Amino acid sequence: MMDTGRSPVTVIGLGAMGQALAAAFLRAGHPTTVWNRTAAKAEPLVAEGAVRAETVAEAVEAASLVVVCVLDYPAVRAVLEPVAAKLSGRVLVNVTNGTAQEARSTAEWAAGLGAEYVDGGIMAIPPVIGSPEAVILYSGSREAFDKHADALATWGTSRFLGSDAGLAALHDLALLSAMYGMFAGVNNAIAMVRTEKVTAVEFTESLLMPWLNSMVAVLPMLAEEVDSGAEISHERKLVEQVALANIIETAATQGVAPDVIAPIQSIKDHA
């Protein structure tokens, strides 16, 4: 590796995301050590200049910034527990998807080892890593985050949310819940129109996207209503109830299961 003056970094976990993170470090000139359970996945990165550690211990020892990006938190622990003592004095940045509670208990575990801990939530897909559109949420040790802010900025736009290590996961999962809810509604909408031979592409481009964009535009107003605690008017509730009942009836008539919309109707009924 060339001496670029950039700090050495380690990436543990070279799935689709870990590979993208390591590649971004390499492009920015960071001497990058990598480790993955399935060693062959390191090969493309080694061709780009990464050093493949033979063991997790070797990977951890190679840098003061240790990034871990594996499937889930049990995998994080499975990989790092055996080398826990070596984390002392290092910064562990864990960008594995997990719950807020998992993040908090991992922060405590790291603190007990004398390591600084930053939890991360990646709001991007691997091809976007390395561009400003890739938003990465962080929480935990502010000092540790600041120490490595330049290196982390090579992945995209960093957003530090606070010293409670669970905050990044909380916000990450809240955003994902908005996304999954939207996709479920979108799939339902497409299923409805496809019963009349309208293609998903035609519907999406001509009507669905403009409609969803106009709905996104009302979100600030909705958020203000929520924060103000204002009651939704009786008239608006009635209009929503009629529309939801009509969606369910029309979907059923067209042969589409009500699974997505029926729970929304039941929530609105409770309200």
Q: Cβ neighbours of residue 127 under 8 Å, at least 6 residues apart?
A: 20
Residue with tokens 């330049």: 150
From 10, 18, 120, 139, residue interacting with ligand NAP (rule: CB under 6 A): 18
Q: How far is the CB of 227 from ligand NAP (least distance, A)?
A: 29
Site membership for ligand NAP, residue 130 (CB under 6 A): no
From 17, 22, 110, 137, residue interacting with ligand NAP (rule: CB under 6 A): 17
Q: How far is the CB of 185 from ligand NAP (least distance, A)?
A: 21
Among positions 81-100, residues that touch ligand NAP (CB under 6 A) are: 96-97
Strands (E) located in the chain? 9-12, 32-35, 51-52, 65-68, 91-94, 116-123, 135-140, 157-160
Q: Binding mask 209-248 vs ligand NAP (x if CB under 6 A, - otherwise)?
A: ----------------------------------------
Q: How far is the CB of 60 from ligand NAP (least distance, A)?
A: 14
Token code pair at residue 133: 């559109």
First to last CA, the chain: 61
State how far the Cα of 269 lies from the Cα of 63, in Å rounded to an integer: 55
Q: 25 with 11: CB under 8 angstroms?
A: yes
CA distances from 80 to 35, 87, 112, 141, 263 (A): 12, 9, 14, 19, 41
Q: Which residue is nearest to ligand NAP (CB)?
A: 15
Site membership for ligand NAP, residue 174 (CB under 6 A): no
Site membership for ligand NAP, residue 79 (CB under 6 A): yes
Token code pair at residue 147: 């120490």
Site membership for ligand NAP, residue 67 (CB under 6 A): no
From 6, 7, 8, 15, residue interacting with ligand NAP (rule: CB under 6 A): 15
Site membership for ligand NAP, residue 75 (CB under 6 A): yes
Chain residues in the site for ligand NAP (CB under 6 A): 13-18, 36-38, 41, 69-71, 75, 78-79, 96-97, 122, 125-126
